[in-house]
């Protein structure tokens, strides 16, 4: 490499005393020089460019940095410090291409950025060809809906057991995410069962249709397990007395939110289910199957349709766990957020579907 040594004295003067305009112009020329010869440079040549460009590139205009990041993102010998500098930028049009595909960004830097930056940076990472379990743990914890969907649909992503559990929880009220998770070959049977238990029938049928044959076998098995388990729950419950109590309250005009809340606080499961059945028009057997599952979504849906307060929905979630279990603060907060976001019209459509079962 003969050009770079000749440029170093001039560049040193620009770096030390040059105004922003001179630095930006030097960054442009040196970047172009590197990109033109990158295929032939040795590692010491790359390091030389790296040391100078990290001082000059921040003075370049955004458009120039965007173009540079795009071109560097596909190079296996791109200057590591420069790539890291650009990947840390808040401007996603600069950081995005590198976070999506740059092969020179290490795991530690990805984790650092994933824990510190916003949703645009997380979404870009979710598109990388491969994702470690450590990185997906952060994505499913911090990511919004688009990030989660992208990561779940990435065949090159690996998920830990906790990561899959979080994904399944995030899939409630999100049929698109359910389909992406359910089609994954690496989804363990226990999480597939949990995913299906929290899904409505139309989503289950769609998942079965789009899944590969081997996944269809696993889905069938999980559904059979769910059916057996639901049958066992039904055989242990007798709603006769609870239904009489609720009918009496209804006739007296006292079947109110307050009455439902009192049932919940007293952990009277049968009375709660009977009351919700009376108030929503959904069959007791259907509500029992839904509420006795592993998901709290049906409670949020029923409460939203009835126009009930979050305090009542929260009490029903706690009741569902039983008097000897304590609800996780994180789960309760997630439920509160989902209850707030749930549109009454969406909840109404789901309840109308329940009524046909």
The phi, psi pair for 42, rounded to 5°, reads -80, 170
Minimum mean pLDDT range among 113-117, 183-187, 211-215: 211-215
Q: Which residues contact 217 (CB under 8 A, 6 or more apart)?
A: none
Tell me the chain's radius of gyration from C-alpha atoms: 28
* 295-329: pLDDT as tens digits: 788 999 999 999 999 999 999 999 988 887 777 78
3-state secondary structure 332-343: HHHHHHHHHHCC
The angle formed by the CA atoms of residues 6, 11 and 14, to the nearest 5 degrees, is 150
CA–CA distance, 106 with 91 (Å, rounded to integer): 20
CA–CA distance, 208 with 201 (Å, rounded to integer): 11
Q: Is the pTM value of this prediction over 0.75? A: no
* pLDDT value, residue 235: 45
* 221-263: pLDDT as tens digits: 888 777 665 554 444 688 999 999 999 999 999 999 999 999 9
What's the average model confidence in pLDDT over 190-214?
A: 84
* 143-157: pLDDT as tens digits: 999 999 999 999 999
The angle formed by the CA atoms of residues 325, 293 and 145, to the nearest 5 degrees, is 95
- 76 band by pLDDT with thresholds 50, 70 and 90: very high
What's the average model confidence in pLDDT over 76-102?
A: 96
Per the prediction, the chain carries an average pLDDT of: 87
The angle formed by the CA atoms of residues 327, 332 and 336, to the nearest 5 degrees, is 155
- 6 band by pLDDT with thresholds 50, 70 and 90: very low
For residue 231, how far is the Cα from the chain centroid?
A: 32
CA–CA distance, 273 with 288 (Å, rounded to integer): 6
- Of 100, 105, 91, the closest CA to residue 150 belongs to 100
The structure tokens 């706690």 sit at: 318
- Judged against a pLDDT cut of 50, whether residue 192 lies above it is answered with yes
Tell me the torsion sign for CA atoms 244, 250, 253, 258: positive
Asked if 236 contacts 269 with a C-beta cutoff of 8 angstroms, the reply is no
- Judged against a pLDDT cut of 80, whether residue 122 lies above it is answered with yes
- Judged against a pLDDT cut of 90, whether residue 81 lies above it is answered with yes
CA–CA distance, 274 with 260 (Å, rounded to integer): 10
């Amino acid at each position: 490499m003969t050009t770079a040594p000749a440029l170093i004295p001039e560049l040193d003067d620009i770096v030390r005393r040059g105004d922003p305009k001179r630095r930006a112009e030097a960054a442009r020329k040196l970047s172009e020089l590197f990109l033109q010869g990158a295929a032939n440079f040795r590692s010491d040549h790359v390091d030389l460019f790296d040391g100078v460009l990290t001082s000059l590139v921040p003075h370049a205009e955004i458009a120039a940095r965007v173009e540079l990041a795009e071109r560097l993102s596909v190079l296996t010998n791109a200057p590591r410090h420069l790539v890291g500098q650009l990947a840390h930028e808040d401007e996603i049009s600069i950081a995005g291409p590198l976070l999506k595909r740059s092969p020179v960004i290490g795991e530690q830097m990805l984790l650092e950025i994933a824990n510190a930056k916003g949703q645009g940076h997380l979404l870009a990472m979710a598109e990388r060809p491969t994702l470690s379990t450590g990185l997906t743990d952060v994505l499913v914890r911090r990511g919004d809906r688009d990030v989660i969907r992208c990561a779940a649909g990435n065949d090159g992503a690996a998920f830990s057991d906790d990561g899959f559990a979080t994904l399944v929880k995030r899939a409630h009220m999100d049929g698109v995410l359910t389909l992406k998770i359910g089609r994954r070959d690496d989804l363990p049977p226990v999480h597939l069962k949990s995913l299906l238990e929290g899904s409505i029938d139309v989503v289950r049928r769609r998942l079965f249709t789009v899944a590969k044959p081997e996944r269809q076998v696993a889905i069938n098995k999980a559904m059979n397990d769910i059916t057996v388990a639901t049958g066992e729950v039904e055989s242990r419950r007798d709603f006769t007395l609870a239904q009489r109590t609720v009918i009496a309250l209804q006739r007296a005009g006292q079947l109110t939110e307050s009455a439902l809340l009192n049932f919940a606080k007293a952990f009277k499961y049968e009375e709660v289910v009977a009351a919700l059945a009376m108030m929503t028009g959904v069959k007791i057997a259907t509500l029992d199957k839904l509420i006795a599952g592993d998901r709290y979504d049906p409670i949020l849906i029923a409460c939203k349709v009835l126009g009930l307060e979050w305090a009542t929905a929260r009490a029903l979630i706690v009741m569902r766990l039983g008097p000897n279990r304590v609800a996780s603060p994180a789960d309760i907060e997630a439920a509160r957020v989902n209850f707030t976001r749930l549109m009454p019209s969406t909840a109404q459509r789901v309840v109308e579907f329940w009524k046909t079962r």
